[in-house]
Structure 1
Amino acid sequence: MKLYSRYIFLILFAYVIKSCASNKAINSEKNNITVKTFTYKKTSNKTSLDLDFYSSKYFRGKQPLIIYVHGGGFSSGKRNDAFIKKFTRNMAKKGIAVASISYRLTMKKYGFSCNTATYLKINAFNSASEDISLATKFLIEKSDELNIDTSNIILMGSSAGAEAVLNLTYVYNNTILPNFKYAGVIAMAGAITTVEKITENSAIPTMLFHGVKDKLVPYNIAPHHYCKETSDGYLMLYGAKAIAEKLKELNKSFYLYTVTDGNHSWNAKPMILCVNEILDFINTSVIQGNFQQKNVVKKESSHNSKKS
């Protein structure tokens, strides 16, 4: 079945892999995408955590799946913002299902600044990782109904969501799915608390988008929000460059997309400007399983003429 899914994806992929500037859908009809909303977790305060599942009506066979986690400093953000819905529909039209999930926003009362205690920040990473794991478990259990290829489930996140998916991939002790390994991870302006847990066994194909001038989440190694060491919220983080260097050291696949004058807006811009780069990574590193270590270096000005 995985070979069948790979064959179909390669046919679809051939239509779209031109450049970052051209992100036209294979089928422009709006009604060829099915969107279903599911509750994957009931919380203790009688609220629920939901996900929106996007898939194409016309795709035959099991589909690769992206589980997308929105940003917002673990205190805000929505799974169904307009740019997210546009991206998820674009992916679905190209034969890749997407589940955009809600998760517990545990920092609503605290914020996520230098005054926020470090342990609360780490708890936020872990709470989100737990929720993503529960969403994954729910989707695996529904994989036959939803035509999901469980061998090709990819995590993707923006900002706080990127921190959450990287934390889940490389740091979090996952007792919910202890034997499950994601097929790949895509992080946009994300970071983790250590690279020492990226090992020969834990490493998976990893795509990293980051602006060097990001003042919130470090591109390389620096404190979260560049907080002073004496602040309550001091937390050393390892960003895209540090993660890529660790994967290079281990001789594992990665795709590092650096914007030399880019800021934290690169937590979302790839979903608009770099759809084909994302497809390239999914096709080459995840579905085909080919080894690649790719470094792309750009300036903001090189994206100015590109349209979504």
Structure 2
Amino acid sequence: MINKLLLLSGLLFLTLTLFGQTIHKETRLYAEKAGEELKMDIYKIESESQQPQPCLLFVFGGGFKAGTRDAELYHPYFNYFAKKGFTVVSIDYRLGMKNQKAPGVFNNKPIRNAIAIAVEDLYSATNYLLENAEALSIDPSLIIISGSSAGAITVLQADYENRDNRPSADVLPDDFNYAGVISFAGAIFSTEGTPSYTQPPAPTLFFHGSADNLVPYDKTRFFKMGMFGSKPLAKKFRSERYPYMFYSMEDIGHEVSEYPIQEFLPEIEQFINDWVFNGKQWMIDINLKDMLRKSDTSTTPGNYYN
């Protein structure tokens, strides 16, 4: 508890002293796979203090077929947390759904492969940050992963496979776990029904629209195999007493993968403070109906990929 209080005091000090300072962006190559260079952008405000900072790692969206790590719509998210004393890292990953047909229950091999290589690249980026934590002034015990759409699938899947002791996670250090997960319209692919965790998952913040027809809010399954969205995942967290917070956006489609990154920044920060830094064991479900927001729910895997 003393260490957490010291961390919070340090972050408050950094927030006050760094206000108004310039955010520095550095691009690094973290891996090369199949002839493809994978880079990360590192956003932070340099200060005289050498106190290690928490790291907020972000994975972009785009259906595993498109998207970029430095898309403008993500900048408010990067800048907000950099100014709050975080090292913000946005990464490339290989896009396994390029030129592929729409995934479905009976055509799941391409999407399974796309998720697998995205998770593999996220693990590689994580290892790079761990290996360079001292030089980057990152606290290796406070790496929080977040993602939008395909990126949200990737971060949820990555924490799940690590906590469930899957062979894919063997590349990570034995004693390493992510400190938190933030998902903007994500899901987990499972062949065993609703995912079960061998170890308790990281505290997780879910955002999802109940009318999302691209990434399932509920689940799409054939027997035990399928994609399990935020609703069944939050239900599983509650039944197993895992700390989480779930913003269920009523009657909103897949745009929940984007607009909370700009409009819910204080709420995201509060989640990190309460669940990650202070270790609150809270389980909170919020059903939010925005009567002024009109939603386009026409995007489906069929028309997105074809």
TM-score category (smaller protein)? 0.7 to 0.9
Distance in 1 between residues matched to 2:91 and 2:198, nearest whole Å: 29
Residues 212 and 262, structure 1, Cα contact 8 Å, conserved in 2:
yes
Deviation (angstroms), 1:112: 3.9
SS at the partner of 1:201? coil
Distance in 1 between residues matched to 2:27 and 2:106, nearest whole Å: 34
1:141-183 alpha-carbon deviations (Å, 9 max, x no partner):
1111111011110110110111111111113531210522100
Deviation (angstroms), 1:252: 1.2
Counterpart position of 1:280: 270
Amino acid at match of 1:187: S
Deviation (angstroms), 1:6: 2.8
Distance in 1 between residues matched to 2:206 and 2:38, nearest whole Å: 27
Counterpart position of 2:112: 122
SS at the partner of 1:174? helix
Deviation (angstroms), 1:299: 1.7
SS at the partner of 1:300? coil
Deviation (angstroms), 1:301: 3.1
Counterpart position of 1:23: none
- The structure 1 residue matched to 2:137, chosen from 130, 144, 147, is 147
Deviation (angstroms), 1:221: 2.0
Note if 1:35 corresponds to 2:25: yes
- The structure 2 residue matched to 1:58, chosen from 31, 40, 47, is 47
Counterpart position of 2:179: 183
Deviation (angstroms), 1:288: 1.3
Distance in 2 between residues matched to 1:9 and 1:97, nearest whole Å: 12
RMSD value over aligned CA atoms?
A: 2.4
- Give TM-score scaled by structure 2 length: 0.85
Deviation (angstroms), 1:290: 1.5
* Structure 2 residues not aligned, in runs of 5+: 295-306
Q: Which has the higher contact order (CA 8 A, sep 6+)?
A: 1
Residues 6 and 302 (structure 1), Cα distance of their counterparts in 2 relative to 1, 3 Å cut: farther
State, as a whole percentage, how many aligned pairs show the same letter. Answer: 33
Counterpart position of 1:18: none
* Structure 1 residues not aligned, in runs of 5+: 16-25, 224-228
Residues 105 and 226, structure 2, Cα contact 8 Å, conserved in 1:
no
Number of positions where the alignment pairs a residue of Structure 1 with one of Structure 2 = 281
Residues 145 and 182, structure 2, Cα contact 8 Å, conserved in 1:
yes
Counterpart position of 1:21: none
Residues 161 and 263 (structure 1), Cα distance of their counterparts in 2 relative to 1, 3 Å cut: same
Residues 240 and 197 (structure 1), Cα distance of their counterparts in 2 relative to 1, 3 Å cut: closer
The 5-angstrom pairing of residues 1-308 of structure 1 reads 4-10=6-12, 27-29=19-21, 32-45=22-35, 47-58=36-47, 60=49, 61-114=51-104, 117-171=107-161, 173-179=168-174, 180-194=176-190, 196-199=194-197, 201-223=199-221, 236-301=226-291
